[in-house]
Amino acid sequence: MRLTRQEIGLGERSYNVVVASDFRGLGAELRGVQEGDRCVVVSNPTVGALYGAVVRRELEAEGWKVEELEIPDGEAHKNLQTWGRLVEALVNLGVDRTTPVLALGGGVTGDIVGFAAATVMRGIPFVQVPTTLLAMVDASVGGKTGVNTEAGKNLVGSFYQPVLVWAALKSLESLAEVDLRSGLGEVVKHALIEGEVALADCERMAPALLQRDPEGLAKVIEASIRTKARLVEADEREAGPRAVLNLGHTLGHAIETVGGYGRLGHGEAVGLGILAVARFGWGRGWLTERELPQRIHGLLGRMGLPQKLPFEADAGALARAIGFDKKRARGMLKIVVPQAPGEVVLRKLTMEEVPALVDALKRLG
């Protein structure tokens, strides 16, 4: 059975990210980091039907009394209403500060459950059990939790670290193609941040990843976790170097907001955001590897990701969505620019420069 551990070193808030073949050992791992005798598993209808029973058995085998709750799936339900109903349900179950709540599902489930765990009784233990590639490589690690509003993505939330992350590769077998591709968008992001070797690995492995090669997927998952761990440990609350993890997200979030949550997968939108900002940076003379936009364009294609917006989007609406971005301060927008593999930096734009950034997105093709 494959089992690797990567520690996220944050002092008292440190925790392990376990990449395993399946769910065997989850109950024992939780027993090793959390006291108590009851836990709550929160999932969505699709994932719960596939993996709820086996997760329950693994937990009960280690003496956990398991309660189960269900929330709807999809970005359209990642809102304050779903969060509020979950908070009420957890309170009604009588949870206390020794009751771990497990998020069994993708990034949407993990974000909502994590935010609920952060706020019920001012914080109860939280476990991420990601079942999508996107959640394994990104959303489950680092402690970002929250929900969307009509104005934009993740505008309400908190930094709240889990006590454990358990990524079972078995769950990727049932993953829809669109969700596989969405996860690969974040893999591309991490490879660009890490450097030439990681990016070249992605270029080489792209066909195998699309075919769900187990070893290839395990390799990019573990590599992404190492990259994210390094940055989270250096900057837990995104005051400095961790901000490079937002590569592609300023435009990606705007695409999701304007297009409607769920119209494009998160990683698909992020991939477009990465390509557009690379093209924008090329036009400004910021890139030290001038061929980088072409490499990104080619890699997105090999990963099955879109290389241009698949729908018409109003430029003004995109600019307004960017204006709500959390990375805006004092009339300036901070964007993350890939200048070369491993050379990813923050640049400041005035709000008057945003239309040119939007134009770079709309001109992709």
Q: Is 266 a catalytic residue?
A: yes
Residue 39, strand partner residues: 66
Q: Is 226 a catalytic residue?
A: no
* Active-site choice (253, 256, 268, 279): 253
Instruction: Give me 20's structure tokens.
Output: 């395993």
* Active-site choice (77, 189, 266, 279): 266
CA distance 246 to 344: 10
* Phi, psi dihedrals of residue 108, rounded to the nearest 5°: -65, -50
* Active-site choice (35, 92, 122, 330): 122
* Active-site choice (186, 194, 256, 268): 186
Q: Is 144 a catalytic residue?
A: yes
Q: Is 194 a catalytic residue?
A: no
Instruction: Give me 273's structure tokens.
Output: 């955001």
CA distance 343 to 193: 7
Task: Please count the residues of the chain.
Answer: 365
Strands 65-70 and 38-43: parallel
- The letter for the amino acid at 37 is D
* Active-site choice (181, 249, 279, 327): 249
Residue 210 exposed, middle or buried by CB count within 10 Å (0-12, 13-18, 19+)? middle
Q: Is 189 a catalytic residue?
A: no
* Active-site choice (77, 78, 144, 153): 144
- Evaluated on CA atoms 333, 187, 106, 66, the torsion sign reads negative
* Active-site choice (58, 190, 246, 279): 246
CB 153 within 8 A of CB 273: no
Q: Is 253 a catalytic residue?
A: yes
* Active-site choice (194, 238, 256, 268): 238
Q: Is 246 a catalytic residue?
A: yes
Q: Is 186 a catalytic residue?
A: yes
Residue 122 exposed, middle or buried by CB count within 10 Å (0-12, 13-18, 19+)? exposed
* Active-site choice (153, 242, 279, 327): 242
Q: Give the contacts of 132 (CB within 8 A, at least 6 positions apart).
A: 105, 106, 107, 171, 172, 175, 179, 182, 183
Residue 4, strand partner residues: 19
* Active-site choice (56, 77, 181, 228): 228
| CA-wise closest residue to 166 among 120, 227, 100, 242 | 100
Q: Is 190 a catalytic residue?
A: no
Q: Is 249 a catalytic residue?
A: yes
- Give me the active site residues, please: 122, 144, 186, 228, 238, 242, 246, 249, 253, 266
